[in-house]
Amino acid sequence: MKVPVPEELLPVDRLGHVHFVGIGGAGLSGIARIMLARGAAVSGSDGNDSPTLQALRDLGATVHLGHAAEQVRDVDTLVVSTAVREDNPEYLEAVRQGLRILPRSAALAAVMADRRVIAVAGTHGKTTTTSLLTVALQAAGADPTYAIGGDLAATGVNAAAGAGELFVAEADESDGAFLHYSPYAAIVTNVEADHLDNWGTEAAYVAAFDEFADTLDPDGFLVCVVDDPGAAALAERHRAAGRRVVTVSAREPGALADVELWSPGEHYLADALAALAAGRELGFAEDDLVRGLVSYTGTKRRMERKGEVGGVRVYDSYAHHPTEIAGDLAAARVVAGEGRVVVAFQPHLVSRTRIFGEAMGVALGAADEVVVLDVYLAREDADPEVTGALVAASVPLPAERVAFVPEFDDVAAELVSRARPGDLVLTLGAGTVTEIAPRVLELLRHG
């Protein structure tokens, strides 16, 4: 469901009691965490319990399991994500009461008020780059507030309210949220067609990034990774328009040429370079920033090492677009060394699979063994014509090295049957595929 952004964006202290529908999600949980730190009354609901929900309870939030109208009877502001359906009882009750209803973007804007915002945007790499910039600034002596689409491995949380003036935010383009932040500065990692269920055409998607860049403070700056043609073109257009633009390239690593980062891969190097450039433009010392980048230990679900049993290493990552799949498989190949790469991939969204399914399969061909799950539906309804079989059929490997496994509970055993000592097993996707890695490790422990 898409909720309009109100004309007036209020700061946290004017929102009253805020209730989050889907409070356990990566985006809303971080905003809720910051609001709690700012002294707001926060409650929320979610379908399933999780460590994230318990952490919010520990911070003072009232969290309900399940959705019911009575849970919003003493609420002033309702925050919803795009995953919430129009028949949600809490949403319907809020409409009946005439409550203030905010999309995620407006709630994030509320906690950004009175801070100097550095927004990190791009089709891929937003979470990693936001994380890298956060730890680099912390190492350089800043204490930024941050809101990230994944948990920092070092802290175990995806957001925190810092005491400093800076606010580092992951700026999501999927539903146009990033057009409402008016940041001081921004990083754009890449611009490659995605989320066409919302934007309709590639041209509209690209134009949204121009609109995003136009929202920057005139005294601020834009950092672009020019290894990506879309980001390079964006840099050229906005430099010509008189904006301060800084460009970086992983093919010219500069200050990071001899630095060992947390993960191999050109795209991870590009993310680090973009974070370093932004930190320098903000006036921080390069040596301090680099020290922070070197100390970075990753973000959950971004090439996250889950464990090793019997010589089989297991990793999990969020990659769900063909370019992301290719990048993580390239990194996995380096980590695997002489071992093989065995991958399980869960397509995310029917609309994305319809458009990019063949390209997903082609990208998966960089692995040695491929297991494809069925499509993770998220906010869309199933389409019998668009399943994981479409992706599996496009993998350019011999048939015996590719399997379409539609039953989720059968996937871990399929992976274990294909893996051998020295191999690297990688689970990829933005959905429930992340639950497979622990199952693989458990099966390996039991032979």
Residues in binding site for ATP: 122-128
Position 235, amino acid: A
Does 170 participate in catalysis according to the annotation? yes
Residue ranges for the binding site? 122-128
What distance in Å separates the CA atoms of residue 428 and residue 325, rounded to the nearest whole number? Answer: 8
What distance in Å separates the CA atoms of residue 302 and residue 11, rounded to the nearest whole number? Answer: 32
Q: Quick one: how far is CA 400 from the chain centroid?
A: 33
Does 260 participate in catalysis according to the annotation? no
Q: Is residue 428 a contact partner of residue 343, using CB atoms and an 8 Å limit?
A: yes
What distance in Å separates the CA atoms of residue 65 and residue 55, rounded to the nearest whole number? Answer: 14
CA atoms within 13 A on the CB side of 8: 6
H-type helices in 266-349, by residue range? 266-281, 286-295, 322-336
Catalytic residue among 77, 82, 127, 247: 127
Q: What are phi and psi of 312, to 5 degrees?
A: -100, 120
Give the single-character DSSP code of 214: H
Query: How many helices (H) does the chain have, and how many strands (E)?
Result: 15, 18
Q: Is residue 28 a contact partner of residue 81, using CB atoms and an 8 Å limit?
A: yes
Does 306 participate in catalysis according to the annotation? no
Position 143, amino acid: D
What distance in Å separates the CA atoms of residue 158 and residue 60, rounded to the nearest whole number? Answer: 17
Catalytic (active-site) positions: 126-127, 170
